Every structure is written in C-alpha cells, then in structure tokens.
Amino acid sequence: MSQNPLTAPVTQLIDYAAVKPAHIEPAVTMLIAEARQAVERAADPTLPTRWEAIVEPLEDASGRLWRAWSVAGHLNAVVNTPELRSAYNACLPLVTEFSTWVGLHEGLFAQYKRLKASQDYADLTPVRQRIVDLALRDFRLSGVALQGSQRKRYAEISDQEAQASQKFSEHVLDTVDQWALMITDEQRLEGIPADVRQAARSAAEADGKPGWKLVLKMPCYLPVMQRALDRSLRQEMYKAYATIASEQGSPELDNSALIEQLLALRAEEAHLLGYDSFAALRLETRMADSAQQVTDFLRELAAKAKPYAQRDLAELRAFARDTLHMPELEPWDIAFVSERLREARYAYSEEEIKQYFTEPQVLDGLFHVMNRLFNITLRRSDAPTWHKDAQALEVLSAKGDVLGVLYIDLYARQGKQGGAWVDSERSRRRSAAGLQTPVAYLTCNFSAPQDGKPALLTHDDVITLFHESGHAMHTLLSQIDDPGAAAFASVEWDAIELPSQFMENFCYEWPVLRSLSSHVESGAHLPRALFDKLVAARNFQSGMQMLRQVEFALFDMVIHHQPKGMSIEQVLATLDDVRKEVAVLFPPSWHRFPHAFSHLFAGGYGAGYYSYKWAEVLSADAYAAFEEAVQCMPDSERDTLHPGTGQRFLQEILAIGGARPAADSFKAFRGRAPSLEPLLRHSGLAESSL
C-alpha cells in the first residue's frame, strides 16, 4: 500500500499522474478501516472530555479518507473511463455506509454531548465551540436518535440515495457523450463561428469520418443555437439537448425512474427524522427559515421581474417578425433571434468580443484582480496533474508564503462532466504536525485551443471563470485552522454562492476588462467603444433571465416540499404549473428539463437551488460596498478594485469561512442586514428602468 498515491500523507500533494483506477478501492477500504478505529477510540467514555482527545484524532483519520475520496470523485468527473467509473462505484456504497455509520454512532454522539457539557467546552475558542455545536446538530439530522427498524431503514435510504444520484449523473454524461450529429453538407453550418466549425471537423477526423461532428457539449451546442442559419439544424440540436437522459432516448439512460426514486427516498428520510418534507429538513442548515420564506422570496423576485420579462419577449417577437421575417418564434429560435437582436441593438457580436479574450491573458488578468483585491499572487507549479490540459497554481501571500494550491482544468472533452464547479481536495488545518494548506479544483468546460492559437473565451466564459474563482478563494484564503469550520464544510448552502457571484461583477469594469483582453491576432486590448457596448448590453433580457432562475428554484422547492414522493408525470405537471405562474417562455410538451437537472438530483442542490438568487442578494449588496468606496472618483478613474474594501471582504467573508453564521459575516462586512435594492439595480430591474 506504500506505493498507492492515494494513501500519501495529507500534507503532501497527490501525484495525479500516478493515480490508477486500481488504486482507488484498496486505498478507500484501508482508510475506512483506519477511520472506523479512530471513531471507536474517540467514542470511549473513559477518555477525558477534551478536544485533543476526541476531535483531533478523528480529524487525523477522517482527513486521509476524505482526501482520497475527493480525489477519486474528482477524477471520476473529469477523466471518466469505464475502469475509473467501476472503481468509484465499487467504493461509493462503502463510503456511504461509513458516513451513515458515523452519523448514527451513539457513542460518538455521547462524547460530543459530554464535551459540550464540560468545562473544557467553555475554554474552547468560539470557532471550536461552533464546530461542536454543528456536530451535535448534524448528529441529530443524521438520525442518531433512530432505533431498530427505523435506524436500519435510514442507512438503507442513505445508500440508495447515493447510488441513485451517481447513476443520474452517469446517465447525463453518457447521453451527452454518445450523441453526435454528423454533417456532410457544409452549407448547413453557415453562420457557425470558424473555431467551432474547426473543432467539429477535428472531432469528425478523430472518428475517422468525413464532414463535421456536432455534439451537445456547451462549446459546440451554444454557438450552434446562437448562430446557425439552418433552422432545422437548430431544431435537431435543441430537441436532443432538451431530451437528455429521458424516455425519448436510450431506455437504459432514462432518468425518469431515478427522479421518482430520489424524491421518494428524500421524503421518507425527512419523515424518519421528524420533518414534514425534505425541504423542511434541508432548511435546518440554511439561512432561510422555512419553505414558505423561500417561496415568498422567489415570488417577490418573479413579481418584480415579470413586467421586464414580458417586455423582453415582446421585443424579441417583434424583431423576429419585422426584421428576420419569422412570424412564429419557436423555442429553437430563441437563442438565435436573441443574438441577432443584441447585435442589432448594441452593434457587436459575441464572436467579435471573443477574439479579445484569449485564455492566457484572461488568466493573467484574473490573477491581477486577485492581487489587487486580496494581496495574493498565483504562481504556476510543476505539480503533476490528471490531464495535459490541467495545471497547478500556488497561491502566495504578500510575504511569499504558500497559502494553498489551485488546480485548474478549463476545456471540455469526452469523459468530462459538463458545467463548471469548484471542489476542495483538502482544507486548511493547523495541528501539532504543523500547518496544512488547502487544495482546491476549479473545473470548466470551455472550447479548447484550435490551430495552434490560444483558447478563446466568450464574455460569459470569463464571467464563469470569475464566478468559480470566488468559490476557490473561499477555501484557499481561509484563515480558520479547524476543517470543521471550513467554508465548504459549514457555510450555509444558501450563502455559499456569495463570494462566487460577487466576483462576477468585476467582469463589467473597464480596468478589469482591459487587463483581461489581448486580441488573438493583434494583441490589442479591448477597445473602450466595444466595452461600452458590452456594458450597455449587460441587462439585455435580464427580466427573462431572472424568471428562468426563479422558475428552476421554485420548481425545486415545490417538488421537495411534499409529504411523499411524486411520479414523473406529477413532476412534469408541477413544472408546468410553476411555469404558468412565473414564466413567459414555454418549451414544447416533450421538453424534459428535469431529467438533466444534475444540480437537484446529483449535485447537492435538492431543495437548495434558490440559493443562487438568495446569495445573489448578498453578493450584489457586498459589491455595492466597492462601488461606494470609489463613488467620488471621476468615471474615467473609477476602479472598483479597491484594496481596502477588498481586504475587509477577505477578512470578514473569505477568511472566516464557516466560523460564524453567514448572516453575522455579512453584517460584519456591510454593517447591516442585506438589501434587495443593489440586486434589482444591477439587474436593471429597478422601477425606473421600465
């Protein structure tokens, strides 16, 4: 086992180049056994009720296990192969069973209760007191009070939920990977950007076929939907994307039964723990107090956004009819007509903007922003990675100390889950052995470089990169020495998006955009005139965009605020009802959006998708502090990269992690409770905008 890279000391970086699927099961099995022994030792009632006797040894053992499992999960998501998937799936029930066993361990629960009641608790730091309090809460929510058949059933539910979520994710990945449309008539590709066509040509050549291979990965799908002149091509791509992992495709990849299973299991889990719905259970660990509060919040946003969305749609239909001679606006026309309208109104195209955002320059510009705001430097490292396109970066303090390591993997490819996300390999920890610095992954799915040129990012890609960098900084810039209070361990789910959405705002600031840009041919910065058009278009169709997010969030809350599970027919009917209430756009009856909604059914956002809008209120208000800090400056000198405010954001939000409730951290930064006004203003939804 000494040769297994997954069992290396947690303080060492993983040798990703050496990790093989065969390493996963032996490592996980061994580390679970070690962690079980540590739990049993910590549960010994003869131990002194001290942090050092109970909590520290648990962290030693569990830290090794969760680091290895995090690595396995990450590799399963970014370089998925049959062998890796098999190894991961073989371990999933073992890890789930162990996690459930710990949550149900009455002896360990009793130790935490003794620690809470002891004088030693009073002597602990506030951070460690909070960790003990959260642990006691989590024991209760993990079913520790259950007995007999209920305890056994809870363990079964936990295992079945984990298996179903993993299978849901696999079905989405496999459907996307298996679907392709081969085009041999080049005329059908008219309007599609040259780099996308080249990528499609290369994909076909790699398969040994003539023509062009179109796929459902975003770097291909979105440009086709926005720019292809061939309406039938857009329709074919739209239907394939809209029916991913549904009954309209391969039966073995249909997620219908898994959605039904997950909703039933979640409702049953909630009832076992004494809650009337899964939403009520989940909200025990959130800023929001109840499902009613969440739905009221979402409906308030919908009411404010709907007049703007109706205006957006009326303008779109009028433009399609009067300018593009399209009397009927079909769902596969929306992205295409929207792009034409935006070009006509603001006199620029996404394709034009993209030429200025070369990936190396965007990364350098992002690092400059990090330096200005948080006084850190990102330096490329030669640490081994899992793929030639991934790279490691060291995060350095102003003194040159290594604060952590960030791995970035930016391009879409076969065998890689779609979307963008950040995950933590290990958290910051200070122990007798010294300081363990955090390690994080930042994953995106951008278009890869073509023809020897650097990768080109759309402005939306740039926003995505900044968003994910905010998540990464939340763990990498932590100054909390106990992993139990790390950001990803204990920040309330509906506040976890605050740093990420906050970072998006800088993508509309002139000094930032200028530093991010370098034309792929000339190397010139983005012209000010083009930037002004980009900013003018910032809230283009913001009403429809707001309603889209509210629709997803309200659907999520409704299906999870039920006393029992739902059939797939009821799920789809509920989505229709939500759309009738808040939407202005209505897809075809055969649309199967829930079947690929991995956030809800495979990504931990079940009964939590509202968090994006909830945290957006916080992030917009937090960014308003930067606007206020420079409001006296002339527009030509206005630069919201305000170091003083950045340091306060670092100290009160990022560095503090989950050491206190998120509401307290926000108030410490802003000096008051959050306001909805900045979000409405930033989104162009203030009453004066109509």
Sequence-distant (6+) residues with CB within 8 A of 571 are: 259, 260, 263, 559, 594
Q: Do residues 351 and 370 touch, judged by C-beta distance below 8 A?
A: no
Please count the CA atoms within 13 angstroms of the CA of 555 that sit on its side-chain side. 25
Q: How far apart are CA 280 and CA 291, in angstroms?
A: 7
Reduce the DSSP state of residue 407 to 3 states and report it. Answer: strand
Q: How far apart are CA 680 and CA 620, in angstroms?
A: 9
Residue type present at position 13 = L
Q: Is residue 285 packed enough to be buried (19+ CB in 10 Å), middle (13-18) or exposed (0-12)? A: middle
Residue of 59, 161, 269, 468 marked active site: 468
- AA identity, residue 652: E
113-148 b/e with 16+ CB inside 10 Å = b? ebbbeeebbeebeebbbbbbebbbebbebbbbebee
Whether 115 contacts 244, CB under 8 Å: no
Residues 456/195, Cβ–Cβ less than 8 Å: yes
Q: How far is CA 477 from CA 236, 433, 503, 653, 670, in A?
A: 45, 20, 15, 10, 20
Rounded distance between C-alpha atoms, residue 672 and residue 664, angstroms: 9
Residue in the structure block whose two tokens are 């081969």: 182
Q: In this structure, how many other beta carbons lie within 10 angstroms of the beta carbon of residue 198?
A: 15
Spatial contact of 36 and 29, defined as CB atoms under 8 Å apart: no
Cross-strand pairs, 436:
429
Assign 328 to helix, strand or coil.
coil
Please say whether the beta carbons of 440 and 423 come within 8 A.
yes
CB-based contacts of 379, cutoff 8 Å, min separation 6: 393, 394, 396
**DSSP codes joined into one string, 421-461:** EEEEEE--EEETTEEEPPEEEEEEEEPPP-TTSPPB--HHH
Residue 390: Cβ within 10 Å count? 19
For tokens 């299973």, name the residue.
Answer: 261
Measure the CA–CA gap between 73 and 58, rounded to whole angstroms.
Answer: 22
Alpha helices in 228-274 (DSSP H): 231-242, 256-272
> Residue 511 carries which side chain, given as an amino acid letter?
P
Do the Cβ atoms of 660 and 130 come closer than 8 Å? yes
Strands (DSSP E) along 144-196, which ranges?
Answer: 181-183
DSSP β-ladder status, 391-396 and 377-381: antiparallel
The yes-or-no answer on residue 468 being catalytic is: yes
**Residue 163 amino acid letter:** Q
The answer to whether the beta carbons of residues 601 and 615 sit under 8 Å apart is no
Q: Which residues contact 550 (CB under 8 A, 6 or more apart)?
A: 298, 301, 302, 305, 582, 613
Residues with a catalytic annotation lie at: 468
